[in-house]
Amino acid sequence: MEYVEIRGGKPLAGRVEIQGSKNAVLPMLAGCILHAGISRISHCPRIRDVFDTMELLEILGCQVWWEGDCLAVDASGVKSWQIPIQIASRMRSSILFLGALLGRMGRASLPYPGGCVLGARPVDMHLQAMEQMGARLEEKEGRIEAEAGALFGREITLRFPSVGATENVILAAVRGKGVTVIRNAAREPEIEELCRFFREKGADISCLTDGSIRILGGRELKDSRHELTADRIVAGTYLLAAAVTGGRVTLGRMPGQHMAAVLRILQQMGIYMEWQGADLRLDCRAKRKNIELLETEPYPGFPTDLQSPMMTLLAVTEGESRIRENIFDARFKTAAQLQKMGARIQVRGREARIQGVPRLKGSWVEAQELRGAAALFLAGLNADGITQIRNCQYIHRGYENICGNLRSLGADIRAVE
């Protein structure tokens, strides 16, 4: 099995361009099947989750191909509504095909989704919303079986601003009949981008001043081309990589308008930032300050997807810091791996206390999920000696050419078979 070996201690320096957004493109790819024509998405990242979704689209009857950095999907030949477990087990976003398949085919059959193990991530909000819109659902042998002669617009209030549930309702409502209004909708940038993707295809979608989303279903969709925004979580990871190594890095195509909470925390820690057009230049050589309490929150708060990489930075920041995880109940799994590298972290329930050490120590560690893998890469960049990271297939789910990008910034890193 492949592992990644990092010889740490080198401050990063140079420039890296931020890839297109993973969390934005996956619901769009599910949404492509709603239009019996061609959809193009440029600046699309070549990551495992995208490749898995391409495979799924082809199983459903689509033709999928690359045109440079643009991914094209011709969904005119969609003929199946069944998602095989072999693919669904690899990706959480397979649940988004529930709304899309009901909208296109009137039927959907899919296993409960896989992906990263982050604790309880129930799909009951997705299922309840589909039932409200007229779908009939039942569970058979671990699969969700759904059928709807037609989907009808409803006012749907989510009990929590779930990104996935919001996206699934949008996907179902685009081909539904009448008006759907989503109350307490998620406000992440990826939601607005999904709405923009469908508006470019001719859908009638608007984001209301109270944060709700209104969809007038049934509009005829058309061929379109969408340019994907940069990935704010990948951008945050490279920010933290620069900080954890005391480096000087410039990030190109930086989605700063979507990262206010992250940038504010790093500035509080003493990291110098300077904007140069769409580029952000970082100088992380100054002594860092600890953070008394960092809490993850739905957007526009600090994103849970950067909590694990942030833990790595706080582990090598002098003084005591605390992290409170408010989104996922099992996102501190990486703490045990960081402890093997000398980090002083105590986890109690949803809170972690971190006493900073001068530097981590190289060790064998094991990734257990995507963002935890990124945290271990950052730990290896900081550590004294050699760090070897197993289960690196996780990081390829969301990061395009991360080893090559880090090498271009001066890191001593290599993938080993």
pLDDT in tens, the chain (417 residues): 589 999 999 999 999 999 999 999 999 999 999 999 999 999 999 999 999 999 999 999 999 999 999 999 999 999 999 999 988 888 878 999 999 999 999 999 998 876 433 344 468 999 999 999 999 999 888 899 999 999 999 999 999 999 999 999 999 999 999 999 999 999 999 999 999 999 999 999 999 999 999 999 999 999 999 999 999 999 999 999 999 999 999 999 999 999 999 999 999 999 999 999 999 999 999 999 999 999 999 999 999 999 999 999 999 999 999 999 999 877 899 999 999 999 999 999 999 999 999 999 999 999 999 999 999 999 999 999 999 999 999 999 999 999 999 999 999 999 998
Sheet holding 204-207, edge to edge: 155-157, 179-183, 213-216, 204-207
pTM of the model: 0.96
| DSSP, residue by residue, 78-122 | ----B--HHHHTT-GGGGGHHHHHHHHHSEEEEEPP-S---S---
Q: What are phi and psi of 88, to 5 degrees?
A: -60, -30
Q: How far, in Å, CA of 143 to CA of 119, rounded?
A: 20
In the block, tokens 């999907």 appear at 73
Instruction: Tell me the DSSP string of 323-337.
Output: EE--S-TTTTTHHHH
What kind of fold does domain 3-19+230-416 have according to CATH? UDP-n-acetylglucosamine1-carboxyvinyl-transferase; Chain (3.65.10)
Range list for CATH 3.65.10.10 in the chain: 3-19+230-416, 22-227
Cis peptide before 27 (omega within 30 of 0): no
Catalytic residue among 116, 284, 392, 403: 116
Q: How many CA atoms lie within 13 A of 103 on its CB side?
A: 29
Backbone angles phi, psi at 281, to 5 degrees: -100, 130
Residue 393 and residue 368 in contact, taking contact as beta carbons nearer than 8 Å: no
Residue 389 has φ and ψ, to the nearest 5°, of -110, 115
Q: What is the C-alpha to C-alpha distance for residues 402 and 82, in angstroms, rounded to an integer? A: 33
DSSP 179: E
Q: Is 116 a catalytic residue?
A: yes
**Which CATH class, in words, describes the domain spanning 22-227?**
alpha beta
Q: Give the pairing type, strands 279-283 and 272-276.
A: antiparallel
Beta strands 412-416 and 13-17, pairing class? unpaired
